[in-house]
Amino acid sequence: EDSKEREFAPESQSHFQHLSFVVDDIEKAMDYLKSNGIELESPDPIPVFDGKIFYNTFKGLGGELLEIAEEKRPR
């Protein structure tokens, strides 16, 4: 539901709509990507599922949509 308005890579460029990588610390992962010249969709992590998951996306070399995501677990 949260991604109905998303634009995905055309099938001619990619065999999948997006690929997600689970990270332990999304803010640290975002800082790493930005320091290496990667442009992220949002300047802040994007909450979904009532704040249980935070994610951000960026384009891969072939135009595919790549995602990093962190599950926020209760402490």
How far is 14 from 44, CA to CA, in rounded Å? 27
How crowded is residue 28: how many other Cβ atoms within 10 Å of its Cβ? 11
How far is 20 from 23, CA to CA, in rounded Å? 10
Block mean pLDDT (10 aa), the chain, length 75: 56 66 97 96 93 93 88 78
Q: Which domains does the chain have, with CATH numbers?
A: 18-71 (3.10.180.10)
Predicted pLDDT at 53: 94
How far is 53 from 63, CA to CA, in rounded Å? 24
Predicted pLDDT at 2: 55
How far is 67 from 46, CA to CA, in rounded Å? 11
| Region of residue 16 (phi > 0: left; psi between -120 and 50: alpha; otherwise: beta) | beta
Q: What is the model's pTM?
A: 0.75
